[in-house]
């Protein structure tokens, strides 16, 4: 197999990921402008306003850049599976199985690994390492791909990933 398969990011995921920081930013801004606040209330509200403003700008930069440039949220190639949202790469040689876990809105694709520590060693972010360890503890694998951030139907995404995996395993 000499091809790659790319899945675009879902516009709904972009929209839902930006609505919360923008909403809180607008709420705190309106609170600062129109509420009768005491002087001691200004620093925490301004701090909150600034934090959510920066989160909104960061989200807009990342997600809209991905959507506008039609960059892949998930990419499968001959060597590895790359989750660009979580910034994780896993070699197909390390993948033992792929499972679809349907939990209603919380559906995810579980990538079962032979060596579960490989993704943990890829990151220096302590929070991400902690999330990988929690995933291993509860679900048996550090890698969970949420089809909700990928454009398309969950079952079709899973079927395409499985077909690609079976093609690389041959």
Instruction: Give the angle 78-79-85 at the CA atoms, nearest 5°.
Output: 100
**105 pLDDT more than 80:** no
Q: For residue 97, how far is the Cα from the chain centroid?
A: 21
**160 pLDDT more than 80:** yes
Predicted pLDDT at 170: 52
Indicate the range of 59-73, 78-92, 104-118, 144-158 predicted with least confidence. Answer: 59-73
**121 pLDDT more than 80:** yes
Predicted pLDDT at 168: 67
Indicate the range of 1-10, 64-73, 107-116 predicted with least confidence. Answer: 64-73
C-alpha 121/C-alpha 37 separation (Å) is 48
Predicted pLDDT at 117: 87
Indicate the range of 11-15, 147-151, 160-164 predicted with least confidence. Answer: 11-15
Q: How many CB atoms lie within 10 A of CB 124?
A: 7
């Amino acid at each position: 197999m000499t091809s790659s398969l790319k899945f675009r990011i879902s516009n709904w995921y972009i929209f839902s990921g930006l609505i919360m920081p923008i909403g809180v930013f607008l709420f705190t801004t309106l609170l600062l402008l129109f509420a009768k606040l005491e002087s001691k209330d200004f620093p925490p509200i301004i701090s909150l306003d600034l934090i959510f403003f920066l989160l909104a700008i960061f989200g807009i930069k990342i997600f809209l850049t991905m959507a506008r440039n039609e960059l892949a949220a998930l990419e499968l190639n001959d060597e590895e599976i790359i989750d660009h949202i979580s910034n994780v790469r896993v070699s197909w040689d390390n993948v033992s199985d792929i499972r679809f876990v349907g939990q209603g809105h919380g559906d995810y694709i579980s990538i079962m690994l032979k060596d579960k520590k490989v993704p943990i060693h890829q990151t220096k972010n302590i929070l991400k390492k902690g999330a990988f360890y929690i995933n291993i503890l509860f679900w048996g694998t550090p890698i969970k791909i949420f089809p909700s951030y990928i454009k398309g139907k969950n079952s079709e995404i899973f079927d395409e990933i499985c077909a690609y995996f079976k093609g690389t395993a041959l």
